[in-house]
């Protein structure tokens, strides 16, 4: 539950960052909680509460300094260091992710891909692609702690187990199954079909 709560807060912080970058481009140096809240679609109270969680301070009269806010948010997400990821599954989604601009712009580096299909390992991609049995070796050598799973449903849990036993602590899962992981491993889920399908309920 604590984890889930944090997850929502964290997503808001990422959204605040986006809004702050926009304000910065418009030439602003300071921002009040109500302006940031309005832009981000939350209340001013929420903004202040979120910032105080991480001891980020502003002044009642002058607001928050935008540079300081951005630095603080980048610290939370360790953006000031290199952020390494491995990717398992070189299908449509996997291939889209290795070229995804949103990762590149944010110093997120996919260092290697893995696929069960040997022909994928021979094909030329922007990153090296290996068979999954090389996961332990590469995780240990690189010290990577984060992985993306983009394999079909049927191999999702097997790949997850392999990643966890190799030392992976955080997983972004595109495979449409609920993964069973130890308590010290965190999983974020993206289920594209479900996101689209809930829309059909409303129309």
Positions that interact with its own copies (CB under 8 A):
6-7, 10-11, 14-15, 18, 40-41, 76-79, 83, 85, 92-93, 95-97, 99-103, 106, 108, 145-146, 148, 152, 169-172, 176-178, 186, 188, 190-203
- Nearest alpha carbon to residue 112 among 92, 138, 91: 138
CB of residue 195 to its own copies, shortest distance in Å:
5
CB of residue 80 to its own copies, shortest distance in Å:
11
Residues 86 and 111 sit within 8 Å (Cβ to Cβ): yes
CB of residue 59 to its own copies, shortest distance in Å:
27
CB of residue 118 to its own copies, shortest distance in Å:
20
Alpha-carbon distances, residue 166 vs 98, 134, 140 (angstroms): 22, 10, 7
Whose tokens are 């289920």? That residue is 191
Identify which of residues 61 and 105 has a Cβ nearer to its own copies in the complex: 105
Identify which of residues 118 and 195 has a Cβ nearer to its own copies in the complex: 195
Q: How far apart are CA 144 and CA 154, in angstroms?
A: 25
Identify which of residues 133 and 142 has a Cβ nearer to its own copies in the complex: 142
Residues 58 and 119 sit within 8 Å (Cβ to Cβ): no
Alpha-carbon distances, residue 150 vs 142, 157, 183 (angstroms): 21, 11, 22
Identify which of residues 67 and 109 has a Cβ nearer to its own copies in the complex: 109
Give the phi and the psi of residue 27 in degrees, each rounded to 5. 100, 5
CB of residue 150 to its own copies, shortest distance in Å:
9
Identify which of residues 136 and 146 has a Cβ nearer to its own copies in the complex: 146
The tokens describing 87, both together, are 């990717």
């Amino acid at each position: 539950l604590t984890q889930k709560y944090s997850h929502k807060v964290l997503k808001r912080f990422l959204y605040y960052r986006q809004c702050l970058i926009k304000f910065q481009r418009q030439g602003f140096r300071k921002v009040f909680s109500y302006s940031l809240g309005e832009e981000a679609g939350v209340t001013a109270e929420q903004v202040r509460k979120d910032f105080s969680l991480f001891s980020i301070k502003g002044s009642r009269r002058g607001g928050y300094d935008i540079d300081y806010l951005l630095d603080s948010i980048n610290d939370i997400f360790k953006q000031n260091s290199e952020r390494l990821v491995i990717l398992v599954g070189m299908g449509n989604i996997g291939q889209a992710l290795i070229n995804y601009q949103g990762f590149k712009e944010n110093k997120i580096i996919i260092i290697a891909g893995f696929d069960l299909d040997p022909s994928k390992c021979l094909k030329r991609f922007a990153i090296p692609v290996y068979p999954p049995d090389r996961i332990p070796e590469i995780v240990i050598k690189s010290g990577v702690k984060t992985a993306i799973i983009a394999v079909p449903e049927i191999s999702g849990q097997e790949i997850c187990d392999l990643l966890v036993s190799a030392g992976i602590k955080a997983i972004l899962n595109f495979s449409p199954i609920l993964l069973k992981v130890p308590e010290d491993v965190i999983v974020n889920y993206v289920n594209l079909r479900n996101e689209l399908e809930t829309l059909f309920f409303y129309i």
